[in-house]
Every structure is written in C-alpha cells, then in structure tokens.
Amino acid sequence: MPVTGGTVRDVDGRPREFVIAEPGGQPLGRLRAELAKTFTVSGAVRPARATRTWLDTFDWRLYKAGLTLQQVTTRGSSQLILFGPGGEQLIAAPSRGRRLRWPAQAEALPPGTVRDRLTPVIGNRALLPVVSVTSQATDLRLLNQDQKTVARLGVDALTVSPLPHHRPEVQPPPGTPPALDPLPTRLTVHEVRGYPAAARRARQVLTSAAGVSVSRQTALDAALAATGRHALDYTGKVDVKLRPAMPAREAVALLLLQQLDTLEANVDGVLHDVDTEYLHDLRIAVRRSRSALKLLGDVLPGDLTLRFAAEFRWLGDLTTPLRDLDVQLEGLPAMAAGLVAARPADLEPFRVYLGRRRGAARRTLNRELRSDRFAAVLGDWRKALTVPKAGRRPSRPRAADLAADRTRRAYSKVIRMGAAITDDSPAESLHTLRKRCKELRYVLEFFASLHDPAAQRAMVGDLKRLQDCLGEFQDCEVQQLEIQALAAAMLARQAAPAPTLLAMGEVAGQLGRRQQQARAEFAGRFTAFAGSAGRRRLAALTAPPAPKITAPRTAATKITAPKTTAARTRA
C-alpha cells in the first residue's frame, strides 16, 4: 500500500476510490495509456506486497468514531497506521524488538500519538483483527513537463487472507470461511498539494475509462463482505425494530432473542479474558432478559417466564464475583492517585491480592460457562423463543399498547418510590430505587423503536442523570463493604502489611466522601426527573392512552427481585 504523506491530499478532501470491475490487467493497461495522453506515467515495475490487517474493538469503537486502524506488514516489519475521519494519517513508530500480538489493549501499543489518539476511544476494550488482506500495491506517479509528480494513482489488488497470529477467540465465526478470491482492484487518486487540477484531470480519466467504476464500498467494507461480515455487526445495545401493531408476544420474543444473541456473542471473550467489557455486556444481556421476563413476561406463552427466571438469576449471580473484582481493579489507579496520607505503592499488595482473587473467580466462572447446565439453558431458551406454539397466536395486546402500559407502570413506580425517600432513608431504599430506575431504562430501551426519538432521548437523558447519581451512591457503598471484607480476608491470610491496610482505609474514606456527595445530589436529580417536564415527556412517549393490560397469567408476573448482596453490585 502506498503510504502517502504530507505531500498528498485526496480529491475533494476524501479518498475517491474506483474499482476495476473485470479481472485481469486489460482495464489497467488501457487506463495507463489514457493517462499517458496528459501525464508522463511513472511507477514501480513490480507492485509492493504487504499484509494489511484492520483492527477494531469487538463493539466497533473505532469504526463508530470514523477511525480506521491498520497494521501493515511488509517483509517482516510492521507498522500501525491510523486513518482519521478527514483522511489524515497517524503512523506509529514500529515497535522495536517487540512484536504486536492481538488482542491488545491500548497500553500494549507503541507509545506515541497513535496510542494517545486511540486510548480515549477504545477505553478498556482490546483491539482485535477484524479482517486481513494481502495487498499488491503500485504507486503510479503522474508527472508534468518538468517531470514533477503532480498526482498519484494508487493501484491496490487485494485478496482476503486468514487473520494473522492471534488467539482462537478472534477467528471469524464458524461457517464463514474467508473468501480467497481477489477483490476488485482498487484505484485511488491522490492529490499532490498545490496541484488540484492534475488530480481532477486524473479523476476524469478514471471516470470515463471502460471497466472502471466509482467504488461504493471502502476497502474495509469490501474485505468484510468477502468474509460474510459487515461493520457494526455487534452492538451491546437493544437493537430490535418493532412495529406498533405487531403482537406484543412476538415483540417480547424478538427482544429476548436479541439479548440471547448478545449474551452468546460475549461468552468467548469472557472465557479467554480478552477484556472486561465482554463480561459487562454479558451481564447486561442477562439483566435485561430478567427485567423483560419480570416486566413483560406475562405476554409470553405457557410457563416460560417461571421456568427461565430462575435460570437467569443463576446466570446473573454467577458473573457477579468477577465483575466486582474487575470494578475494584479498574478503579484502583484513580483511587491510588487520590491518596493523600498513604502512598500509591502502599496499595500494591492489595492490587496483587485482588488479581489473585480475580484469577480464582475467572476459573470458577469459566467452569460454569463450559458446563452442561449453561449450554442447556441457552439452547432451551432459544428453542422456547423461536419454536412457534400450536394454535392461533393472539393478535392482542399490540406491541404499542404493551409499551405504553409498561412504561407508565415503571415510571410510576420510580416516582412513587423516589418521592418517599428522605434524608433519613436507609441506603437500601436508594438501592431499591436504583433497581426500579434500571427497569424503567430497560423498558424505554426495549420500546425505543416505537417512540419518537426526541422524546425518547430527553426521557433517557433525565433518567440517566438520576441513575448516575444512584449508581455512584451504590457503587461506593458496595466497594466500601468489599474493601472491609477484603481487608479482613487479607489479614486472615497474613497478606496485608500495615501501610496497605492504612491505604485501603484511606480509599474507603474516599469512597465514603463520594457516597455522601452523591446522596447530597440525589434530591436535585430526582426533582429534575420527576417534575412537570418529566411528566410531559412520559405523556409524549405513551400517547395515545393505552388500555390497561390484564395479564393472562398471574404466576409468571410475580418475580421477586433478588436480595442477595451479590445482586446489589453493579453489572
């Protein structure tokens, strides 16, 4: 691939790519002859061979941010190139003596501007290879009478290749072997700074050349398509398009199936500990499923809700210990930086201890995720949601009616419970309110496709601010309790030097102050959410008034929220 520099600008500020539709060298030969009428065409006789591997996080954070990261390997040396939304390039210095291996988190990348630019975008997610191609690239130079380069034409023949050295979890999904047929040869006109007319002329030649057409896909999208994938093929968000008139039962089954897809998509990442967000997304999918069963499960047929509520509770509880430790470990650097009396190094034994506990928690979780019970739950759940039931399926209630009814109910619960909270209310009351807020949030997300997007955004925005406050309060509460428990456990194992215990005490103190702060902010946030503007937003979301839906079955609607300490921790 020609790595273009400050001398080169793409036509109209964006790369304008063309493709040669027919295989073979005929169109390229004709094109060269056509260009030779205006320019002297010069370029390497033999194309440069390279392997180009696109990298992104599992949830496509780079793609969503308009960034493209490539590892380009030529004759054993490799470099990372980051393309920005405007076509600008950042090139990372090659990592000397250290081969980049994937998956990799930001801190494993060579230090420099590429890493600095990537870090805030990918956060704690690992970069994975998404698709790899071998590239035979020729950089043709178009020269004027002074034999000065006034435009460049990149000719790139790509063939999808197996992903380079990596662990098994980043292999493409089974059943989609990479297509090794060459992709259409790509042609890119690059403008040399100060010579826009030459680039325009070259583009005209390409536009009118036989067998050449403007590319409708980027090279990444074309390569992904050849492997049966597409960008943004994973999202942790609710992503189901419902129709207002569709039967509520069908809508709920669709919502639950997508959560099941999300859950399953994250299992491998959890098993291989690629990054901590796999577990987070898996837990969210479990919790959304539990909430859907609790709040909407009455429209499902038979005893589905009753049967699977317990299994999802088991799944949720299974993942809690590891997630708690992930949260502790991820928050530790900030906590250490905020120490006043103690030194950050004093917390090192605590970090080591947490790491050891995390290892044990992972092993336990992995055992369960590989168990027959886990496989059976997922298999049975999918079957239950997809196998059509005998008999006529009810057309009522409609999805829109269910959405309005359950949104209103969930909202009312939050308002009622929040209004009852005073300065003297115990922490437990705020925790319960937080759970109701989460349920309301899930209901809003489930039915987002039926709502006016502006009203939905406003409602979720207010709710999110309230949830953030409650989340901060609860997280601080749980972490303080955990630190006390961990300190006791470390003492029992004689793994806690006195400076470490003192530093842990200071961290607990920090958390206590943050919790007080969150508590002080609660009343303001709740008032903002529950005020007249909030009520108007609810009315906008749930209009026209829907009839109250009577649950066809009562047994399934009553699912008690878990009351264990584990369930109080955040997902």
Partner 1 sequence: MKVFATYNIKGGVGKTTAAVNLAYLAAEDGQRTLLWDLDPQAAATYMFRVRARVKGGGRALIKGTRSLDGAIKGTDFDRLDLLPGDFTYRNMDLLLDEAKKPVRRLTRLLEPLARDYDVVFLDCPPSVSLVSENVLHAADLILVPLIPATLSVRTLDQLTEFVAGFDGPRPEVLAFFSMVDRRKRLHREVAEQLPARRDDVAATAIPALAVIERMAEERAPVPVFAPRSPATRAYRDLWAEIQKLAPESDSLHPTG
Contact 518, 469 (CB under 8 A): yes
| Secondary structure element (H or E) that encloses residue 507, with its range | helix 498-530
Please state the closest distance from residue 205 (CB atom) to partner 1, in A. 20
Which of 21-29, 123-131, 190-198, 462-470 is the region at the interface with partner 1 (rule: CB under 8 A)?
190-198
Q: Which stretch binds partner 1 (CB under 8 A): 10-18, 21-29, 398-406, 532-540?
A: 10-18
Size of the site for partner 1 (CB under 8 A): 32
Smallest distance from partner 1 to CB 82, Å: 9
Please tell me the distance from the alpha carbon of residue 536 to that of residue 281, in angstroms, as a whole number.
32
Is 189 in contact with 203 (CB distance < 8 Å)?
yes
Window 229-288: residues binding partner 1 (CB under 8 A): none
Listed ranges 91-99, 269-277, 333-341, 370-378: which one lies at the site for partner 1 (CB under 8 A): 91-99
Q: How far is the CB of 66 from partner 1 (least distance, A)?
A: 12
451 touches partner 1 by CB under 8 A: no
Minimum CB separation from partner 1 for residue 68, in Å?
13
Q: Are 129 and 55 in contact (CB under 8 A)?
A: yes
From the centroid of its chain, how far is CA 368? Answer: 24
Least separation in angstroms between residue 300's CB and partner 1 is 52
Q: Which of 47, 112, 182, 331 binds partner 1 (CB under 8 A)?
A: 112
| 117: Cβ contacts below 8 Å, ≥ 6 apart | 67, 82, 84, 90
Decide: is 148 part of the binding site for partner 1 (CB under 8 A). Answer: yes
554 touches partner 1 by CB under 8 A: no
**Of residues 84 and 461, the one with the C-beta less far from partner 1:** 84
Residue with Cβ nearer partner 1 (190 or 398): 190
**83: Cβ–Cβ under 8 A, 6 or more apart, which residues?**
67, 68, 69, 70, 89
Residue 356 carries which side chain, given as an amino acid letter? R
Residue selected from 100, 192, 295, 496 as contacting partner 1 according to rule CB under 8 A: 192
Nearest to partner 1 of 147, 494 (CB atom): 147
Write out the two tokens for 360. 């044990």
Instruction: Give alpha helix (H) positions in 272-347.
Output: 277-296, 304-337
Residue 180 and residue 162: Cα distance in Å, rounded?
Answer: 9
Instruction: Identify whether the C-beta of residue 242 lies closer than 8 Å to the C-beta of residue 399.
Output: yes
Q: Which of 89, 119, 134, 425 binds partner 1 (CB under 8 A)?
A: 89
Q: Which of 26, 113, 484, 516 binds partner 1 (CB under 8 A)?
A: 113
Find the part of the chain contacting partner 1 (CB under 8 A) among 84-92, 207-215, 235-243, 280-288. 84-92
Asked whether position 141 contacts partner 1 by CB under 8 A, the answer is: yes
| Of the candidate residues 93, 210, 310, 489, the single one contacting partner 1 (CB under 8 A) | 93
- The residue among 96 and 165 lying less far from partner 1, judged by its C-beta, is 96
**What is the pattern of x (binds partner 1, CB under 8 A) and - over residues 323-362?**
----------------------------------------
Q: Which CA distances in Å does 375 have to 101, 309, 385?
A: 31, 16, 16
**Contact region for partner 1 (CB under 8 A) — 82-90, 285-293, 379-387, 521-529?**
82-90
User: Rule CB under 8 A: is residue 196 a binding residue for partner 1?
Assistant: no
Using CB under 8 A, which of the segments 145-153, 478-486, 517-525, 534-542 binds partner 1?
A: 145-153
The closest of 200, 4, 159 to 89, measured between CA atoms, is 4
Residue 422 Cβ, how far from partner 1 at the closest point, in Å? 55
Interaction between residue 363 and partner 1 (CB under 8 A): no
Q: Is 44 in the site for partner 1 (CB under 8 A)?
A: no
Please report the DSSP string for 155-205 in residue order: EEEEEEE---SB-GGGSPPTT-PPP-SBPPEEEEEEEETT-HHHHHHHHHH
The yes or no reply on residue 194 touching partner 1 (CB under 8 A) is yes
Q: Residue 88, interface with partner 1 (CB under 8 A)?
A: yes
By CB under 8 A, name the one of 147, 494, 532, 554 that touches partner 1.
Answer: 147
Check: CB of residue 142 under 8 Å from CB of residue 152.
Answer: yes
Angle subtended by helix axes 498-530 and 348-369, to nearest 10: 60
Instruction: Output 116 or 452, the one with its CB closest to partner 1.
Output: 116
**How far is residue 62 from each of residues 54, 233, 263, measured CA to CA in Å?**
10, 13, 22
Which stretch in 169-177, 189-197, 343-351, 425-433 sits in contact with partner 1 by CB under 8 A?
Answer: 189-197
Pick the stretch among 98-106, 186-194, 505-513, 546-554 that binds partner 1 (CB under 8 A). 186-194
Evaluated on CA atoms 262, 474, 437, 527, the torsion sign reads negative
Considering beta carbons, is residue 113 or 371 the nearer one to partner 1?
Answer: 113
Q: How far is the CB of 285 from partner 1 (least distance, A)?
A: 39
For partner 1, give the closer residue by CB, 107 or 146: 146
CA distances 293 to 301, 432, 560, Å, are 12, 18, 11
- Report d(CA 241, CA 322) in Å as an integer: 33
CA distances from 269 to 64, 105, 164, 327, 488 (A): 20, 14, 18, 17, 32
Length of the chain equals 571
The yes or no reply on residue 68 touching partner 1 (CB under 8 A) is no
CA distance 519 to 374: 39
Per CB under 8 A, 193 contacts partner 1:
yes
Residue nearer to partner 1 on the CB measure, 112 or 499: 112
**532 binds partner 1, rule: CB under 8 A:** no
What the block records as the tokens of 355 is 């790491």
Under a CB-based contact definition with an 8 Å cutoff, are residues 321 and 566 in contact?
yes
Residues that bind partner 1 (CB under 8 A): 3-10, 13-15, 86-93, 112-114, 141, 146-149, 190, 192-195
